[in-house]
A and B are shown apart, each in its own frame.
Chain A
Amino acid sequence: MTTLVARVVSSFRRRALAALGVALVAAGALFVPLEAAVAPPRLQYQRFTLPNGLTVILHSDRSTPIAHVQIWYHVGSKNERPGRTGFAHLFEHMMFKGSKNVEPEQHTSIVSSVGGRANAYTNEDATVYWNTVPSQYLPLVLWMEADRLGSLRIDESTFVNEREVVKEERRMRVDNQPFGNLNELLYKAAFTTHPYKNPVIGSMADLDAATIDDVRAFFNTFYIPANATVVIAGDFDVAETTDLVTRYFGRIPAGAGKVPRDIAPEPVPAAEKRFTLEEAWPLPAVIVAHHITYDGHPDSYPLHVLAKVLSDGNSSRIFRSLVYDKRLAVAAFGSANLIEHPNLFYAVALVAPGQSPEAVEKALIAELDKAAADGVTDRELQRAKNQFARDYILGRESVQAKAGVLAHAEVLHADIATADGEFAIFQNMARADVQRVAKKYFTTGSRVVMHVRPKTGGSRP
């Protein structure tokens, strides 16, 4: 049976939509123990840019005869225009609807027919298409990816059909599950301006409003080589693969111009925001969130450490205090959602039977305030660093994971060197850094408090 934490965490993971459960790439999760006898190997790679602007990254690893191709388009839900929430993800579905030399729906079945796997996911910042195949089929996959970027079919009836599929996806993930819309409620409450206020899946009304002209405009604006990064990881010859990428992708024209990047920033909040809502949920929930910075900002690394100390493992403060010692909550966790633009640090608790949401709120805030007032202990800091070393290694076990780490650094940090370079930042972190950052962000003015009570009757309207 799904654990409660897994259930609630999946509400947040659901922000990134994928047909399979693709783990999110942990932003900058790179720690090493101080007494690190054990250090993970650095990622080796080649990086180059084609004349049409396409960025290519190669990581050759010949240990298993498989190859992975991952293409990141630097466009996500935050690039959607008003009235078109959900469009980046809807468009992702359209990329499986055929191109000049590949019939609709054939991309995935061709890949399976050679024993591979292919899928895609969309989050706030990027849309990612991936393929893992036995390595002799690397040319096929590169050819198919170039074919859809160079010559996507855009057909009205296919589009109308696929929109219904996406609406079912929204019903399945968000509307028909306990806590399915938790994440959506929090972001709608916390953000006023920046498009992070909108769910990646979009609203039903906006999905219905989307047109085939939107599909064309989106493709022409965002699916251009200069907005794409191709990462190839696995068993291949570097020179041979460089030729292949150049041959298949090099013939795609550079495209219509600069990708628009002027996204309205979220104003600095003036005061604490509080909300009380009723939802058809089986248990009440309390969420305490703070506005924080973006992934890659110097403060983002201490924020990762704070998330570890507060919420990684059964020895973490929030679990220890709320779930184990006081038994105020049946599940509780916190996370620093560090992505491309400033986002939130949030702590969520499901209220235990017989306990009051007010007491849960007080206990969550007490933990965040304590981190700001007293910082973390030496032992906690060391523990967090050790946990990051583990995550760092576990996050590089497969060719898919390695490709994701490289692409994340290249696309979202605009600096591929950060894939390994953040290692030192974490290694050198001091308690004072952590406390300074906790004090800076865990303020009353930046706080959002949300209480969600079960609707009487239990069922949804």
Chain B
Amino acid sequence: MSRRAFHIVQTSLLASIAVLVTSVGLSAGQGPRLPMVADALRWPTERPPRPLAAKKVTFPPYEIRTLPNGLKVVLVSQNEQPIVSARMLVRAGAAQDPKGKEGLAMLTAALLDQGTASRSSAQIAEEIDFMGGLLGSGAGTDLSFVNTVSMSDGLGQALDLMSDVVRAPAFAEAEIERQRQQALSSLTVAADDPDTVASQVIDRLVFGFHPYGMPSGGTVSSLSSLTRQDFVTFHKSWFVPNNALIAIVGDVTPDAAFAQVQRVFGDWAQAPVPAFAPMDPPPPVKRLIVIDKPGSVQTEIRAGHLAFERRHADHLVMDQVVKILGGEGGNRLQQVLRTQKALTYGASADLDAYKLTGAVIAETDTRTEATAEAVRTVVDEFFRLQRERVYEGELEGAQDFLAGSFPLSIESPDAIATRVLNQLFYDLPLEDLPAYPERVRSVTVDDVQRVAKSWLKPSSLSVVLVGDADRFMKDLAGAGFSSVERIPIEQLDLTSADLRRAQRGAQH
């Protein structure tokens, strides 16, 4: 093959030369074809090799202890690498944002390491960076977290820092303003990102004005309204030891780790946790919303409906139903939308089961012209899964993955701790951890059919499309959607009843 010709093309932008050399490259490239064909012919036809003897896989050892003040401590000791991580969960997140104060949990978490009673923001950053550690904090739907990573000999110092930021954040006005500005800029970017917008709108449709439906990153008006007192109150209400869990994981013995936790959190005062009983989410109704973003080259698609909380008795089965629809080991959506129709790079469905309730949500994206076909296909798969019994082999596929991947799920000490924390956080039995593979395999095709029949709601799906509406609206009726609400992206307001911004001078 003439490599010199390649140089000519790469240093020249003349299209004519490019065409010439392209053809040279092609004919040269065809030279070695014959040997390959011959190799393929010679290649043996054979069956895959048998597996080796399987090893018995047991859930690795861990300990749970509790401090007198109610702080639950998970200890996982593993000394392959000289590193320790500490992870604290507090049982309050975006769901606990008061109405009109959306974004409070997120900003509270962001402010924790921005200064305490005894350390400035800069001192905290310098201390953790100099020791080669990591310190991070954030908020999720039902929880807030603070994590550290340190070398084994730095655990004490890392926990000193963690204790300081968890227990004594300063919430200084200047830091509040900095974080507020960052959050507002993030909103500006998020509002322009079809992926983020689609996910926010589907949550809002599925959960309504239940806290799970509200934007966890806040809105311009909610972020602007937050005062120092809001942060102080949120922190004081929820950040108490009897409302928290901590895991110490890695190269430290359980006794040494527990002694360190006791040292820094032993005198953290217990306090009553506020009651929390939000309104129920609305029942599922069929609704299609198009968020118009002219110029988009793809349409972001979400389809879903309300399901149930993590502790629900049908969770184990429903998880497999949703895996068949769109998860690892199954995923009809991916097979149809990607493999058969080449409409997307990826399609999936998730069972988002939280503390109080949950949802089934399918997602994909496709080129604008294919929007109606893709959304119709997604909805059809919900119907098909409810209407027809799944194949035995299909269920086995989902179960083989879930049960078989058990050894992969306990590779790192952090992964082990995550599973333990998960059980504790959702008040699930710890005995389920070692029994997981057997529990997965206990689910039958009949179970799947029963749960799919009672919990899938294909006729009451909420659907969100974010894309260039003019280019696909006319196709939606043909795909079975006669009633469509269309909202220009700049008029979207997740906190209003009709999802539209109030009509007074919202333009800027």
Residues of A within 8 A of B (CB): 1-4, 7, 19, 33, 37-41, 63-66, 81-84, 100-101, 105, 109-110, 112-117, 132-140, 143-144, 147, 150-152, 161-162, 164-169, 171-172, 175-179, 193-195, 211, 213-214, 216-221, 235, 251-253, 255-257, 260, 262, 264, 280-283, 312-316, 320, 324, 327, 330-331, 350, 352-353, 379, 382-383, 385-390, 393-394, 396-399, 458-461
Contact = CB atoms under 8 A, between A and B. Distances in A.
A69 B406 CA distance: 18
Interface in B130-188: 130-134, 149, 151-153, 178, 181-182, 184-186, 188
B39 A143 contact: no
A4 B185 contact: yes
B54 interface: yes
A82 B9 CA distance: 7
Contact of A171 (B33, B367, B396): B367
Contacts of A327: 178, 181
Interface stretch (B254-262, B338-346, B378-386, B455-463): B338-346
A25 B68 CA distance: 44
Most buried by A among B6, B26, B185, B216: B185
Contact of B411 (A66, A151, A152, A393): A66
A83 B153 contact: no
B49 A217 contact: no
A407 B251 CA distance: 27
A314 B81 contact: no
B83 A394 contact: yes
Contacts of B366: 168
Contacts of B401: 112-113, 115
A159 to B, nearest CB: 11
A84 to B, nearest CB: 8
B36 A216 contact: yes
B130 A386 contact: yes
B342 A165 contact: yes
Contacts of B39: 150-151, 252-253
7 contacts: A66-B411, A135-B55, A167-B367, A216-B29, A282-B191, A394-B149, A458-B490
Contacts of B46: 101
Nearest to B191: A282
Given A81-B22, A213-B26, A460-B297, A177 B43 contact: no
B50 interface: yes
B43 A393 contact: no
B131 A177 contact: no
A238 B223 CA distance: 59
Given A283-B188, A315-B126, A217 B30 contact: yes
Contact of B81 (A178, A256, A397): A397
B33 A220 contact: yes
A253 B40 CA distance: 10
A167 B178 CA distance: 40
Contacts of B130: 315, 379, 382-383, 386
A389 B130 CA distance: 11
Interface of B: 1, 3, 6-7, 9-11, 18-19, 21-22, 25-26, 28-33, 35-36, 39-40, 43-55, 57, 80-83, 106, 121-122, 124-126, 128-134, 149, 151-153, 178, 181-182, 184-186, 188-196, 216-217, 293-298, 300, 328-329, 338-339, 342-346, 365-367, 396-397, 400-408, 410-412, 414, 490
B345 A116 contact: no
Contacts of B410: 64
Contacts of A213: 26, 29-30
Given A177-B195, A213-B29, 7 more contacts: A81-B25, A83-B9, A116-B405, A164-B342, A264-B6, A388-B132, A393-B83
A113 B393 CA distance: 10
A221 B345 CA distance: 27
Contacts of B189: 4, 7, 178-179, 282-283
Most buried by A among B10, B121, B131, B346: B10
Contacts of B397: 109, 112-113
Most buried by B among A117, A139, A216, A313: A313
Most buried by A among B19, B52, B410: B52
Contacts of A152: 40
Nearest to B490: A458
A363 to B, nearest CB: 17
A280 B297 CA distance: 13
Given A4-B185, A115-B400, A168-B367, A65 B407 contact: yes
A381 to B, nearest CB: 11
Nearest to A150: B43
Contact of B192 (A139, A140, A178, A312): A178
Q: Which 6 A-B pairs rank lowest in CB-CB distance, beginning with the nearest?
A: A115-B404, A217-B29, A386-B132, A314-B125, A164-B342, A256-B32
